[in-house]
Structure 1
């Protein structure tokens, strides 16, 4: 009795595994979130009064829909982001867990974001007197920073999931970015000019 073996195979070799699904899973993880350097995130958020965050949410949800098979309407989730912040952070958590990272995109940070957005919306009704103008601006700047804090926090986790911890692939400022930065600086210039005039007046 004889046994024929394929010349390209050996009985001592481990069976070849089909890595197609694994490779596809890694590809989805790497492209399921929006990568940006945290410095660029801070600059654009500050200069646009955090309007950049709407774009940030949109890009994340669009990538979730396109590359992670997450059924959603990105533009709706971006505009009404406070209702979907916990869901996005949970998606980041799942990706972190699947890659074995110990850090997490904390649900507390998502809650903090929602609370600061609500507080900011309520305080927008404050109509400061001339004497209160400086205090109002300080409070306004603090609100912008507090809103941005949890996004800055989760962006670090997103960049790690996408194998780009520094966000190098999206660190440079584009022409469009500079246009919005210029508009933002003009706005801030008018704000501080108004404060200065109120003091000398």
Structure 2
């Protein structure tokens, strides 16, 4: 959570000083104090905070995202997709079934459609909001490539290849960080400087399951 003297840059989502006229992370210049810009971008923000319409920001630390993906062996990405559908359903009043979409991620080929759809939707929302965006096709292609290679190596039955598959789990961070940076800029613009929720109950459950699977995988590798 940011301190009383800092806010988040509306362009890159990194923490900067309240009175900064330039972001030290992405180099964006601000003609007005950052707090004035944030108020103009979302004039309803102070009103929403006063009525407790939104308790926490949907902003997520990119560092935390990267760590969670790695320590769960990539399982956390399922929660990440679920979280985005849930947040946008509430934010834009979408008529979608978040649970069914998340379950669809377990179905080969079908999951490609829903993953691509979410990446596309986030890209379009960012375009509408006028925030710094990512390359849609670069994200989709890298995600498909890394997931495919990781899966093929992990299911090969060769302990050495199983270890190598972890390289692609780590590489899987790349497309997610690209999208998350855009998401952070989007939520900062839409929600303002709301407090950040550290770890939700759903995240804790996914982390426990993911870490257990990773430990089991390591044990199986050592036994072979």
TM-score by length of 1: 0.63
Q: Displacement of 1:44 after TM fit? A: 1.6
Task: Name the CA distance, whole Å, in 2 between partners of 1:167 and 1:121.
Answer: 38
Aligned CA distance change for structure 1 residues 95 and 186 (closer, same or farther; 3 Å): closer
The structure having more radius of gyration, on CA atoms, is: 1
If each structure's helix is expressed as a fraction of its own residues, which one has the higher value? 1
Deviations 1:104-150 (A, max 9, x none): 3523212221232233333333011xxxx3x3243121121122321
Contact 1:58 1:75 survives alignment (8 Å)? yes
Q: Displacement of 1:185 after TM fit? A: 5.6
Partner residue in 2 for 1:154: 179
Q: Which of 96, 100, 120 does residue 150 from structure 2 map onto?
A: 120
Q: Please, what is the CA RMSD of the aligned residues?
A: 3.7
Task: Name the CA distance, whole Å, in 1 between partners of 2:150 and 2:60.
Answer: 25
Show the 5 A alignment for 1:87-102: 87-102=117-132
Q: Displacement of 1:156 after TM fit? A: 0.8
Partner residue in 1 for 2:196: 169
Count of aligned positions: 166
Task: Name the CA distance, whole Å, in 1 between partners of 2:194 and 2:134.
Answer: 18
Partner residue in 1 for 2:164: 139
Partner residue in 2 for 1:82: 112
Contact 2:73 2:169 survives alignment (8 Å)? yes
Partner residue in 2 for 1:13: none
Partner residue in 2 for 1:68: 92
After TM superposition, the runs of 4+ consecutive aligned structure 1 residues lying more than 4 A away are 164-168, 173-198
TM-score by length of 2: 0.58
Task: Name the CA distance, whole Å, in 2 between partners of 1:76 and 1:179.
Answer: 19
